[in-house]
Amino acid sequence: MKLLFPENYKPKLDLKQTEKAIKFVKDFFQDSLSAELRLRRVTAPLFVLKGTGINDDLNGVERAVTFAVKDMNDAKAEVVQSLAKWKRLMLAQYGIPVGYGIYTDMNAIRADEELTNIHSLYVDQWDWEKVLTAKQRNLEYLKKVVNQIYSVLLRTEFMVYENYPAIKPLLPEEIYFIHSEELVQRFPKLTPKEREHEITKEHGAVFIIGIGGILSDGEKHDGRAPDYDDWTSVNSAGYKGLNGDILIWNPVLQQSLEISSMGIRVDKEVLLRQLAITGLNERKELLFHKKLLKDELPLSIGGGIGQSRLCMFLLRKAHIGEVQASLWPEEMIRQCAERNIFMV
């Protein structure tokens, strides 16, 4: 078990206060995000049919939880791993106009997740998607939306402080932008995760641009599926990628914490290019991909924002199990309890 135990850790809030604070954070953040990005709340599925191309395969190796549906001739259904492609289908179905979008509570199971202070079998996040124009498919627009999301995070941190004065605001006023290739040049001897820690420790809040493509060292910063984020288009800075991750410095664990993965989505040209790069051209025959290639889906930008991770940061918790109900090894529960880390 890869666990971190902060020295002399003592929670800022007790169990009852924590539960009330979780509700406050989630209510305030999602209402503010909805207003800031002009998003309508919709209901999301817990599972989708296998073989439609709708489910997210993340890095391409994580196994989706699968079961047979008795009343559908034992057709296979998969518990969602994220809703990246489903949301784009919904933009079309709801007829959402340019400049507006949707958001939803996404609940997922990732059975292959390695359990740590920040990783759980259970994933809860706000998944959002917004319609844009062809002219907005650029780095400047991506940064604009990142800044909007970060402004909501700043407001939420302040409101937590207003309600719980023991939790002092820590986030910087502005988020720092850097491309993953720039990180390679700056920290050539470090792993991608170590680079994230260094740059986030320095700036407090960072958006790393360009996740999924091969960098100059021959490696990816991190994996991305080929059919939702655009990680191959050349942006205005001369680097590839119109996607990225929001990271903030976690003062309790003394490491970076990714709270959001997001990006401008693939258009027809980019989809075909990224399927070819990854050797997955057979996906062109799947439902989602056919619709995109037939211009039946709008251009969009979207992402996910981790609910439990956000609560963990804002409430200064040492383990994600302090803010969400999930399954944990007995040995992990015991070791955590000995150090004042109590699972919900």
Closest CA to 255 of 118, 73, 127: 118
Which amino acid, residue 234?
Answer: V
Please, is 312 exposed, middle or buried when counting C-beta atoms within 10 Å of its C-beta (0-12, 13-18, 19+)?
A: buried
Examine the residue annotation and report whether 245 is marked as an active-site residue of this protein: yes
DSSP sequence for 205-274? EEEEE--SSB-TTSSBSS---TTSB--SSB-TTSSB-SEEEEEEEETTTTEEEEEEEEEEBP-HHHHHHH
Whether 261 sits among the annotated catalytic residues: the reply is yes
Q: State the DSSP string of 266-322.
A: P-HHHHHHHHHHHT-GGGGGSHHHHHHHTT-S--EEEEEEEHHHHHHHHTT-S-GGG
d(CA 280, CA 227): 10
Residues 320 and 324: their CA atoms lie apart, in Å, by 7
In the set 30, 34, 56, 256, the catalytic residue is 56
Encoded tokens for 79: 């518990």
Is 56 noted as a catalytic residue in this protein? Answer: yes
Q: Report whether 190 contacts 234 (CB < 8 A).
A: no
Q: Which of 129, 245, 267, 322 is catalytic?
A: 245
Q: Please provide residue 67's backbone torsions phi and psi, each rounded to the nearest 5 degrees.
A: -150, 160
Any catalytic annotation for residue 258? yes
- Rounded Cα–Cα distance for residues 264 and 228 (Å): 8
Rounded to whole angstroms, how far apart are CA atoms 232 and 211?
A: 9
**Annotated catalytic residue within 120, 255, 256, 261:** 261
Is residue 148 annotated as part of the catalytic site, yes or no? no
- From the candidates 30, 120, 125, 256, give the one annotated as an active-site residue: 125
- Whether 236 sits among the annotated catalytic residues: the reply is no
Which of the residues 227, 258, 267, 322 is marked catalytic? 258
Catalytic residue annotation:
56, 110, 125, 245, 258, 261
